[in-house]
Amino acid sequence: MEENKVKKTANSFMKNVLILISAEVLVKLLGFIYKLVITNIEGFGDVGVGYYSAGYQIYSLMLTLSSIGIPSVISKLVSERLAKDDKAGAQRIFKIALRFFATLGLVLSFALFFGSGFIANNILNVPDTAYVMRVLAPAVVFVSISAVLRGYFAGQQNMKPTSVSQTLEQFLNCVLSITFVYACIGKDTYIMAAAGNLSTTLAIVITFFYLIMYYRKNKIVPEEGQRSPERRKTNGELLKTILAISVPVTLSSIISVISSVIDTATVSNCIQFAYRDAGMAKDALESLAMKMTGILSKVDTLVTFPLAINTAFSTALVPSISESIAKKEYKVASKRLSFSIFASIIIIFPCAAGFIALANPILNLIYPTASDGAIILQIASISMILTALNQTINGGLYGLNLPRVPVAALGLGIIAKTILNVVLVSNPNINIVGAAIASVVCQAIAFSLGFKVIRMKLKVKLSMKKYLLKPLASAAIMGVIVAIAYYILSMMFGNTISTLLSIIVGIIVYGLAILVFKVLEKEEIMMIPFGTKIYPILVKLHFFKEENEEETLM
């Protein structure tokens, strides 16, 4: 019976995952496009990216305080109520959360706007970053409300409004960012960066109205006379329930964002400290600090692209596991988590191997006027693997109502990262390479602690051979062949053609490797989109035994 439930729910779970993957990939692609374009605009470059990202990281911290953990929390609470057919309770939770987080978002918008000068002068030590923070400040309240709405729909297993709104927001951001930065060519770099971020605020406001209209047509309507089992609880008691979950989840998100803020603050200050005796003026030191910050941000844009696909699994996992736990279907929950971890490994390993093998060619291809940072990208690829696994594991922990575990795990990692950043970045012989090394240590600590807890709580059994050795071997073979392919191709073609052809070679080699090593079993193939059609083809190609064919087609 448990096995039938797994098969019955696999399609709905994977449908939500597929919707989110499509949206996340499109969102990251659009974000990648506009950052690529503005980075290569005359007068912008790594310094412009530095100003752009420095102010944006502080804005991200405000977003985290007001909204980032909220979609998962609201989706969890709403899905639990709906699993018990308590529509009235689900709607009440939504309205209480909406009022509270709208107020919180408004307060933080004002705090960012009026506190931007203090942050720019005393924390970042680069006064001109204040302009970026001021144009972003109004967006905080709109993001906060939108986060509650997205969580509300996610709790109904409806990922459409989330995917559409995120895609719309990024499309508008892409078009407006390029337009605004081009319009400011010839002005100071920090003005160009502020203009680029102004587009973010406008895109968020427009998207907010889309979500409001969608809500009016698709809100939960309790049946006439239906009364919630929790009707006797006061609004304050229900808010306390929401905050009891949201505060730890938000703290976990805050710690993740703080990792980026620490990079920005420590790089900005420690680079200026490291080169204080080099005879450079304060303006030159600030420019150098922003350039180093820009390189880190540029690399972060690349590594977050593969993470976008993985985010879909972790996002869909929270309400999915919450629903299974509420129904006491523990084997279903364990199955979903195991598959999501496996999917994370299959997706992220080849991406990391490709970045390591082609770091310099990729940066030259994408950022021809600002191509520094190959070694940073290679080190960041390792932390990317750990980050992906942490995303998935944390999704499972939230679904199990254990949000404090990611907080503690990431907290310890951040402490180690901060110490390493200060020590390593302040050394002019290491500088920003130290920030990349510190990120690997941070994610490794968080992963080891989170994985230990999730494995114990859900009794997840992961084979070392299946989950690590085979995927690692496939990715390593791909990486080596890609490096050789680029070396040979570069003798005949330019960097662009050689890099693109090498990536295609890598995709083919990795696909063949996972089939030859039988990394994917029948069950995993059947869970992926179009798996029922793909599997018979693989049987005919003799990657799987023919005796399974009849069973598959039934």
Query: In sequence order, what are the residues at sequence separation of 6 or more whose Cβ sits closer than 8 angstroms to the Cβ of residue 171?
Result: 30, 203
Q: For residues 525 and 535, is the Cβ–Cβ distance under 8 A?
A: yes
Measure the CA–CA gap between 153 and 98, rounded to whole angstroms: 13
Q: pLDDT digits over 309-351, tens only?
A: 777 666 666 666 666 666 777 777 777 777 778 888 888 999 9
Q: pLDDT digits over 475-525, tens only?
A: 999 999 999 999 999 999 999 999 999 999 999 999 899 888 888 777 667
Place of tokens 């110490």: 419
- Label residue 302 left, alpha or beta by phi (over 0 means left) and psi (-120 to 50 means alpha): alpha
Question: Tokens for 405?
Answer: 């575990």
Question: Tokens for 552?
Answer: 């598959």
Q: For residues 163 and 153, is the Cβ–Cβ distance under 8 A?
A: no
Measure the CA–CA gap between 343 and 341, rounded to whole angstroms: 5
Q: pLDDT digits over 363-406, tens only?
A: 999 888 878 889 999 999 999 999 888 888 887 787 777 778 88
| Percent above pLDDT 90 for the chain | 25
For residue 11, how many other CB atoms are within 10 A of its CB?
11
Question: Tokens for 251?
Answer: 């703290």
Which residues in 105-117 are b (16+ Cβ under 10 Å) and which e? bbebbeebbebbe
* Main-chain dihedrals φ then ψ at residue 123, nearest 5 degrees: -105, -50
Extract the runs of DSSP E, i.e. beta strands, from 114-258.
none
Please give the angle made by the CA atoms of 387, 389 and 166, to the nearest 5 degrees: 65
Measure the CA–CA gap between 274 and 285, rounded to whole angstroms: 10
Query: In sequence order, what are the residues at sequence separation of 6 or more whose Cβ sits closer than 8 angstroms to the Cβ of residue 46?
Result: 39, 290, 291, 292, 294, 295, 298, 370, 372
For residue 311, how many other CB atoms are within 10 A of its CB?
21
Q: For residues 332 and 317, is the Cβ–Cβ distance under 8 A?
A: no
Measure the CA–CA gap between 55 and 506, rounded to whole angstroms: 37
Measure the CA–CA gap between 249 and 400, rounded to whole angstroms: 12
- Label residue 370 left, alpha or beta by phi (over 0 means left) and psi (-120 to 50 means alpha): beta
Per-residue model confidence as pLDDT tens for the chain (554 residues): 445 544 555 556 566 666 666 766 777 778 778 888 888 888 888 888 888 888 888 888 887 777 656 777 788 788 878 777 778 778 888 888 888 889 989 999 999 999 999 999 888 888 888 999 999 999 999 998 998 888 888 777 777 787 788 888 888 988 998 999 989 888 888 899 999 889 889 999 999 999 999 888 878 777 766 666 666 777 788 788 777 777 766 666 677 677 777 778 888 888 888 887 777 878 888 888 888 888 888 888 888 878 877 776 666 666 666 666 667 777 777 777 777 788 888 889 999 999 999 999 999 998 888 788 899 999 999 999 998 888 888 877 877 777 788 888 888 998 999 899 899 988 888 888 999 999 999 999 999 998 888 888 777 777 788 888 999 999 999 999 999 999 999 999 999 999 999 999 999 999 899 888 888 777 667 666 566 777 787 777 767 676 544 444 33
Question: Tokens for 404?
Answer: 């404090």
- The closest of 439, 452, 379 to 409, measured between CA atoms, is 452
pLDDT at site 497: 94
pLDDT at site 548: 44
pTM above 0.85, yes or no: no
